[in-house]
Structure 1
Amino acid sequence: MDLSKIKAIDVHVHAEVSCHDPEDPVMAQYFDAASAYFKAPRERPKLPEIVEIYREQKIAFCLFTVDCESGMGAKRISNYEVADFAAQHSDICIPFASIDPHKGKFGAREARDLIENHGVQGFKFHGICQNVSPSDRVGYPIYEVIAEHKLPAIFHTGHSGIGSGMRGGGGMRLKYGQPILVDDVAVDFPDMKIILAHPSWPWVDESLSMALHKENVFIDLSGWSPKYFQPQIIQYANTQLRHKMLFGSDFPLIHPGKWMDAALKAGFREEVLPGILKDNAAKLLGLA
């Protein structure tokens, strides 16, 4: 990847529709609700459409699905499909994978194969959708493989658009999005770079504290338009956490161009924006 040819790195992009299989009917109802919540288009773009959008914007991106087969009963998009597609567009697409923590040692086997034979460069976990605390020992065999290869892992934190407005929240338990639940993982796996996804509302200060306290903890700012960020996010992004904040959009629910336009007006200092938009992620991902 030639960093001089891209203007940003989006560390949070979802692959939600397979190129080979139809949309999963279980996920369809959650997509309906999430689209209404975010006021986003209901149709989910397939992988070729995603790469076309990002290539036009000159933005590199980390692409992943969310494996919630145990927690939600929804068939996942294959990590291998994502990895193989990314390999065809390696100038701009960075493959991440997602493995349900409930898969334990068998999931660890998949993680190792994806890293060693398919070029996967990071992982995504979503405790709310996977119905498990990030610090539950059931996922530790998978974390061990990630840490062994010194790769990053993204953990969903805070409120979830998935299930918002549905009866009983669609069965999603928000408690698993509390950032402090990831603190044990940060302690037990110091060689694994941990990215706390989203501004973590209503637990914003927990994420800021963890990023200040743990050398291996970072924050991606996806899932919210910067115009809605709480003041302390801007404050710490401009000062003590300027090297720990990462641009993420949460595409397809938020368009990367709209996120970046809003960021210019959100109060970030001019000198910190290059780090947030590209440089911090390039260093974390080993691209620079």
Structure 2
Amino acid sequence: MKVIDFRFRPNTPEIINGIAGSNMFKAACKAIGFDARKPQPLEEIVADLEARGVELSVISGRDCETTYGSPANNASVLEFCMAYPDHFIGFWGVDPHKGMAAVRELRHSVEELGMRGASIDPYLAHIRPNEARYYPIYAACCDLNIPVFVTTAPPPQVAGAVMDYTDPRYIDIVARDFPELKIVMSHGGYPFVNEAIFTCLRNANVYMDCSEYEQAPMAEAYIQAMNTLITDKVVFASAHPFIEQADALEVYAKMPLSAEAREKIMYSNARKVLGL
């Protein structure tokens, strides 16, 4: 079966070291044993993708320089996409605190650099996704006809990050205010499982992935909804390298999904979101 991975970051040595040493994730990496992750050269990573049948992987950038002082990783996203354009699709990370400078940078990344979406992390920006500072970004996404990727579950031990910033009910408000905007909630809005499912169900423009939480408590509701209510609204994402992509694929292979749901979640729903 063909696969599109909607949340993937190549585990090159620079990326592994950058995540482990970042101001945001240093404590989280220690808590989850991230130092055991094996770095690989990029060409080897791409060979593994091909061996697993992964046709495309979305690499989402991150910019939370204002709140955490760490530089944006967008340059590496661009580098990966330029090196292997047939394998990687880039989403530009946006810091809402940078105002119109961030909007202009996003426009440049799409119109001049070939990026295919925007990526935001409200919990790292320390504001809710329906806060006014995000609205110029959403308007630009509508104008550029690109989706926005929203992280909606905070990892453990991230200083300053609270669960309230990731509540899917705020995405529901954004979806109402921007009906033309394609929104992908990453990590399934966990632990707000039912709220995430219903936000997808009631808004034609909202999708989600359940990365990292497919086997967490309450995850059976995700699986039930994938087979019934929101078969057309879920995309597969591994969250590699926090989760090994091979392990994530194995979880989905064992998941009790209908053949129709499996094909849509692993492949065709992502093509629809990406406009392919």
TM-score normalised over the length of structure 1: 0.85
Contact 1:80 1:118 (C-alpha < 8 Å) held by counterparts: no
Contact 2:60 2:91 (C-alpha < 8 Å) held by counterparts: yes
Give the one of 260, 276, 281 matched to 2:270: 281
Q: 1:141 corresponds to which residue?
A: 136
Partner of 2:228: helix, strand, or coil? Answer: coil
Say whether residues 1:64 and 2:91 are aligned partners.
no
- How many angstroms apart in 2 are the aligned matches of 1:284 and 1:73? 32
- How many angstroms apart in 2 are the aligned matches of 1:27 and 1:107? 21
Say whether residues 1:76 and 2:65 are aligned partners.
no
In the TM superposition, residue 37 of structure 1 has moved relative to its aligned partner by 2.3
Q: 1:123 corresponds to which residue?
A: 118
Q: 1:178 corresponds to which residue?
A: 167
Contact 2:23 2:68 (C-alpha < 8 Å) held by counterparts: no
How many residues are aligned here? 274
- How many angstroms apart in 1 are the aligned matches of 2:218 and 2:41? 29
Counterpart residue type for residue 70 of structure 2: A
- How many angstroms apart in 2 are the aligned matches of 1:96 and 1:220? 15
RMSD across aligned C-alpha pairs, in angstroms? Answer: 2.6
TM-score normalised over the length of structure 2: 0.89
Contact 1:97 1:124 (C-alpha < 8 Å) held by counterparts: yes
- How many angstroms apart in 1 are the aligned matches of 2:28 and 2:78? 28
- Identify if the C-alpha distance between structure 1 residues 26 and 255 changes in structure 2 by more than 3 Å, giving closer, same or farther: closer
- Identify if the C-alpha distance between structure 1 residues 199 and 53 changes in structure 2 by more than 3 Å, giving closer, same or farther: same
- How many angstroms apart in 2 are the aligned matches of 1:248 and 1:40? 21
5+ residue gaps, structure 1: 1-5
Contact 1:186 1:217 (C-alpha < 8 Å) held by counterparts: yes
Give the one of 6, 23, 29 matched to 1:11: 6
Q: 1:218 corresponds to which residue?
A: 207
Counterpart residue type for residue 64 of structure 1: S
Say whether residues 1:232 and 2:221 are aligned partners.
yes
State percent identity of aligned pairs: 28
Counterpart residue type for residue 278 of structure 1: Y
- Identify if the C-alpha distance between structure 1 residues 186 and 81 changes in structure 2 by more than 3 Å, giving closer, same or farther: same
Residues 191-230 of structure 1: CA deviation (Å, up to 9, x unaligned): 1100111122221111111111111000112123447662
5+ residue gaps, structure 2: none
- Identify if the C-alpha distance between structure 1 residues 25 and 184 changes in structure 2 by more than 3 Å, giving closer, same or farther: same
- Identify if the C-alpha distance between structure 1 residues 43 and 72 changes in structure 2 by more than 3 Å, giving closer, same or farther: farther
Counterpart residue type for residue 181 of structure 1: Y
Q: 1:187 corresponds to which residue?
A: 176
Please identify which structure carries the higher helix content: 2
Partner of 2:22: helix, strand, or coil? Answer: helix
In the TM superposition, residue 156 of structure 1 has moved relative to its aligned partner by 1.2
Partner of 1:245: helix, strand, or coil? Answer: coil
- How many angstroms apart in 2 are the aligned matches of 1:195 and 1:109? 22
Counterpart residue type for residue 133 of structure 1: R
Contact 1:127 1:133 (C-alpha < 8 Å) held by counterparts: yes
- Identify if the C-alpha distance between structure 1 residues 284 and 96 changes in structure 2 by more than 3 Å, giving closer, same or farther: same
Q: How is 1:8-47 mapped onto 2 (pairs within 5 angstroms)? A: 8-14=3-9, 23=18, 27=22, 30-34=25-29, 36-37=31-32, 41-42=36-37
